[in-house]
Chain A
Amino acid sequence: MQKHESVTTIPPVEVHDLTVSYQNKPVLWDIDFTLPGASLTAVVGPNGAGKSTLIKAIMGLVEPVSGYSLIYGKPLEQMRKKIAYVPQRESVDWNFPINVFDVVLMGRYAHLKLFRRPGKGDREIAEDALRKVGMLEYRNRQIAQLSGGQQQRVFLARALAQQAEIYFMDEPFAGVDASTEEHILKLLRELRATGKTVIVVHHDLQTVSDYFDQVMLLNLRLVAFGDMKTTFTAENLQKAYGGRLNILSQVIELSRKAEFVREEGHE
Chain B
Amino acid sequence: MNDFITEFILLGDPNIRWVLSGSVLFGLAAGALGCFAILRERALVGDAVAHAILPGVCLAFIFTGDKDPFALLIGSVIFGWVSLVVMDYIVRNTKLSSDTAIGMVLSVFFGLGVVLLTYIQSTGNVNQSGLDAFLFGSAASMLPEDVKLFGMVSILVLLALVFLFKELKLVSFDPGYASVIGYPMKRMEFLIATLMVVTITAGLQAVGVVLMASMLIIPAAAARYWTDSLLAMLIIAAAAGAFSAIFGAAVSYGVPSMPTGPWMVVSCAIFFTISYFFAPVRGEYRRKRQRRLLKKKITGENLLKVFYKLYEMDDNRQKGRTISDLVKRRNMKPGELKKSLQHLVKNKWLNHYSGNPEAWTLTDAGFDEAKRVVRLHRLWELYLTQKLDLEGDHVHDDAESMEHMITPELEAQLIAILNNPERDPHQRVIPGQNGSNIAEGGK
Interface set, chain A 65-104, CB cutoff 8 A to B: 77, 80-81, 83-85, 87, 91-93, 96-99, 102-103
Given A97-B230, A97-B233, A115-B164, the answer on whether A110 and B173 have CB atoms closer than 8 Å is no
Bound together, the chains give a CA A158 to CA B170 distance in angstroms of 12
List residues of chain B with CB within 8 A of the CB of A59: 179-180
The interface on chain B, measured as residues whose beta carbon lies within 8 A of the other chain's beta carbons, has a size of 24
Q: A94 to chain B: closest CB distance in Å?
A: 10
List residues of chain A with CB within 8 A of the CB of B174: 87, 91-92, 106
Bound together, the chains give a CA A142 to CA B176 distance in angstroms of 21
A-B contact pairs, 22 of them (CB 8 A): A59-B179, A61-B180, A81-B181, A81-B182, A85-B180, A91-B176, A92-B174, A96-B172, A96-B173, A96-B230, A97-B39, A97-B228, A98-B169, A99-B228, A103-B173, A106-B169, A106-B177, A109-B166, A109-B170, A109-B181, A118-B166, A168-B180
**Would you list the 8 A-B pairs with minimal beta carbon distance, nearest first?**
A80-B182, A110-B181, A142-B228, A85-B180, A97-B230, A59-B180, A92-B174, A96-B173
Produce 1/0 per residue, B218-237, CB < 8 A to A.
00000010011110110000
List residues of chain A with CB within 8 A of the CB of B164: 114-115
Bound together, the chains give a CA A71 to CA B27 distance in angstroms of 47
List residues of chain B with CB within 8 A of the CB of A97: 39, 224, 227-230, 232-233
Q: A137 to chain B: closest CB distance in Å?
A: 13
Whether B229 pairs with A99 at a CB distance below 8 angstroms is: yes
Bound together, the chains give a CA A237 to CA B428 distance in angstroms of 54
Kindly state whether residue B167 has any CB partner on chain A within 8 Å.
yes
The interface on chain A, measured as residues whose beta carbon lies within 8 A of the other chain's beta carbons, has a size of 32
Q: A108 to chain B: closest CB distance in Å?
A: 10
Bound together, the chains give a CA A99 to CA B228 distance in angstroms of 8
User: When the two chains form the complex, which single residue of B166, B178, B229, B230 contacts A112, counting CB atoms closer than 8 Å?
Assistant: B166
Name which residue of chain A comes closest to B174, CB basis: A92
Kindly state whether residue A162 has any CB partner on chain B within 8 Å.
yes
Kindly state whether residue A117 has any CB partner on chain B within 8 Å.
yes
Bound together, the chains give a CA A84 to CA B166 distance in angstroms of 19
Produce 1/0 per residue, A136-170, CB < 8 A to B.
00000010000000000000001000100000100
Name which residue of chain A comes closest to B223, CB basis: A97
Kindly state whether residue B63 has any CB partner on chain A within 8 Å.
no
* Chain B contact surface mostly: helix
User: When the two chains form the complex, which single residue of B163, B169, B177 contacts A87, counting CB atoms closer than 8 Å?
Assistant: B177
Interface set, chain B 207-226, CB cutoff 8 A to A: 224
Bound together, the chains give a CA A54 to CA B173 distance in angstroms of 23
Kindly state whether residue A60 has any CB partner on chain B within 8 Å.
yes
List residues of chain A with CB within 8 A of the CB of B170: 106, 109
Q: A176 to chain B: closest CB distance in Å?
A: 19
Bound together, the chains give a CA A207 to CA B357 distance in angstroms of 66
List residues of chain B with CB within 8 A of the CB of A98: 169, 173, 228-230
Given A85-B176, A87-B176, the answer on whether A162 and B163 have CB atoms closer than 8 Å is no
Name which residue of chain A comes closest to B173, CB basis: A96
B167, B170, B179, B180: most-surrounded residue (chain A CB, <10 A):
B180
Name which residue of chain B comes closest to A85, CB basis: B180
Given A109-B166, A114-B167, the answer on whether A162 and B181 have CB atoms closer than 8 Å is yes
List residues of chain A with CB within 8 A of the CB of B227: 97
Produce 1/0 per residue, A163-205, CB < 8 A to B.
0000010000000000000000000000000000000000000
Q: B38 to chain A: closest CB distance in Å?
A: 11
Produce 1/0 per residue, B99-119, CB < 8 A to A.
000000000000000000000
List residues of chain B with CB within 8 A of the CB of A112: 166
List residues of chain A with CB within 8 A of the CB of B169: 98, 102, 106
B39, B164, B174, B230: most-surrounded residue (chain A CB, <10 A):
B174
